[in-house]
Amino acid sequence: MFPYIARHPTISALVLLLGLVVGCAQNPVTGQRELSLISTQQELNIGAQQYQPSQQVQGGQFSVDPELTAYVQGVGNRLAAVSDRQLPYEFVVLNNSVPNAWALPGGKIAVNRGLLVELNNEAELAAVLGHEIVHAAARHGAQAMERGMLLQGAMVVGAIAVQDSPYADYAVGGAMLGAQLLTQRYGRDAERESDAYGIRYMARAGYDPAAAITLQETFVRLSEGRDSHWLDGLFASHPPSEERVRNNRALVADLRAEGITGGELGTERYQAATAFLRETKPAYDAFDEAEQLIAQDKLEEASRKLDTAISLVPNEARFLGLQADILVYERRYEAAVQQYDRAIAEDSHYFDYYLGRGVAYSRLGQRQRATEDLQASVNLLPTAMAMNELGTLSLQANDR
């Protein structure tokens, strides 16, 4: 009946695989029956395997203030405990000025420091995290992947098939999977579900659900006339609107009608937990300006901005690493190595410092050290630059 398929074993296997994985399951949040192509174990695998590279590409963890991360984790765990689906939830704060938050399948959630400085209280943070918990619990990320499987079955099924391979990050589809999940724009139904159930989770956890209204009101206000940081961040995947404000008001009114009243805002706790973040914002503003100046090839001005940032937060590895990058651009490789050393001493878990130091060592002719650093960077986040440098070093070694 399908002779072309019969003559091509790869396509036959793909069709068979799609037929095997197609099923129907009950959504753990909404209770509705829905098509299910991705199993729970596959969700967990995808989230676990994409969590680290997704953090790396977004700036790495905000390690200067570990107490802040512990605080966010506490709020997240409080909400996760009352969610409709128990997953191995994790919560991290990323060192990124773009106001954003995201969730991967399997409950792997991140919030940027750039969003935290815009919130007013713990209940608003709970609204953000509750919303992301629902995205994970209700399988919104998995559903987006399932739509992709139906549209582009070969590529995406192939990506899932290599989840257990040590080369998963290099596979077509697999390497792009995390980026696709982070940048996808959820549909209106998914956003409504996340708002609705996220508000219920807030109330169950003892927070004032009205904070979800003030949060959306703030987002609507900030989305008007803000720079591309806002448009590229949270608002790209979670677009605010007056409709969402109205919906949240109605949802909170329904809770009140059910007799669910009160709840805490946690303003003092939040202000105390984010005090360092707000005090050091000028340093991170200077860092962001330095990045923009480097993109314009204004290295001297960028270096001055970084001097200002480092004077305010001397132990911020991102500042030290970017200063080292400038030294590489200026071909001052020995000085760059010393500055990367300082960055790694402060934060040994970010790929870019090893990548930069590996390049500097390579230019200094120190091939062994270059190879070790470049491989360390690949272990954290595979990049074309690191792989190209490693390939060049390998060719040089074979020519000796």
The mean pLDDT value for 207-231 works out to 79
Place of tokens 């109605």: 250
For 240, which DSSP code?
-
Question: Which tens digit of pLDDT belongs to each residue from 220-235?
Answer: 887 776 555 555 555 5
Question: Which tens digit of pLDDT belongs to each residue from 23-45?
Answer: 677 887 877 887 778 888 999 99
Question: Which tens digit of pLDDT belongs to each residue from 91-104?
Answer: 999 999 998 999 99
What's the confidence (pLDDT) of residue 119?
A: 96
Q: Tokens representing 207?
A: 């927070």
Question: Which tens digit of pLDDT belongs to each residue from 180-197?
Answer: 565 566 667 788 888 999
Strand ranges, E, within the chain? 23-26, 33-36, 90-94, 101-104, 108-112
Residue 11 above 70 pLDDT? no
**Angle between the 351-363 and 367-380 helix axes, to the nearest 10 degrees?**
160
Residue 14 above 60 pLDDT? no
CATH architecture of the domain with range 280-399: Alpha Horseshoe (1.25)
The mean pLDDT value for 289-296 works out to 97
Strand partners, 35: 24
What's the confidence (pLDDT) of residue 200?
A: 95
Q: Where are the domains of the chain?
A: 10-268, 280-399
pTM over 0.75: yes
Which comes out higher in pLDDT, residue 120 or 15?
A: 120
Of the candidates 192, 79, 179, the residue with the CA atom closest to the CA atom of residue 130: 79
